[in-house]
C-alpha cells in the first residue's frame, strides 16, 4: 500500500508510549533534509512504560521491522514507510507511526 516514507524526524512509538528511533539511518538519501530509514537495522525504544517482571515481561528495548516498501530501496535495502510493521522485543507488541514527512510517498 502507498504511504509516506519514514526519516529520522518521524515520530514512532511502542504500544506502551516509548519513543522508537532508528539505530542506523541511511545518509545516502535525504527526505526533507533528513536521512531515510531502511528495514534491516532495528529501532531502539526508550521510555517504555511496560512493567518489569513479575508483573509483565519488561519494557520494550528494540524493534525489528518485518514489512517495508516493496518497490523502493536505498543501497539495496527496503525503505520504511508509514504502513510498515514492526515487532518490539521482548514484549512482542507493534510499533505505531504517529508522524511522518509529507513530501515523498512510496509503495
Beta-carbon contacts of residue 99 (< 8 Å; ≥ 6 apart): 10, 11
The whole-model pTM stands at 0.91
Predicted confidence pLDDT, tens digits, the chain (107 residues)? 689 999 999 999 999 999 999 999 999 999 999 999 999 999 999 999 999 888 889 999 999 999 999 999 999 999 999 999 999 999 999 999 999 999 999 98
Q: What is the 3-state secondary structure of 37-50?
A: CECCCCEEEECCCC
Q: What is the SS3 assignment for 51?
A: coil
Beta-carbon contacts of residue 78 (< 8 Å; ≥ 6 apart): 38, 39, 68, 69, 70, 72
CB 68 within 8 A of CB 80: yes
The CA-atom distances, in angstroms, between 94 and each of 28, 62, 100 are 28, 11, 17
Beta-carbon contacts of residue 65 (< 8 Å; ≥ 6 apart): 39, 42, 43, 80, 84, 85, 86
Strand partners, 99: 11
Q: What is the pLDDT of residue 1?
A: 64
Q: What is the pLDDT of residue 2?
A: 81
Structural domains of the chain, with CATH: 3-101 (2.60.200)
Amino acid at each position: 500500500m502507498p504511504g509516506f516514507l519514514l526519516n529520522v524526524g518521524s515520530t514512532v512509538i511502542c504500544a506502551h508510549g516509548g519513543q522508537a528511533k532508528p539505530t542506523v539511518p541511511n545518509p545516502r538519501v535525504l527526505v526533507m533534509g533528513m536521512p531515510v530509514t531502511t528495514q534491516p537495522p532495528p529501532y531502539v525504544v526508550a521510555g517504555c512504560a511496560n512493567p518489569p517482571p513479575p508483573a509483565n515481561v519488561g519494557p520494550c528495548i528494540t524493534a525489528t521491522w518485518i514489512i517495508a516498501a516493496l518497490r523502493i530501496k536505498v543501497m539495496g535495502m527496503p525503505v520504511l514507510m508509514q504502513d510498515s510493521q514492526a515487532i518490539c522485543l521482548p514484549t512482542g507488541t507493534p510499533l505505531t507511526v504517529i508522524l511522518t514527512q509529507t513530501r515523498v510517498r512510496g509503495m
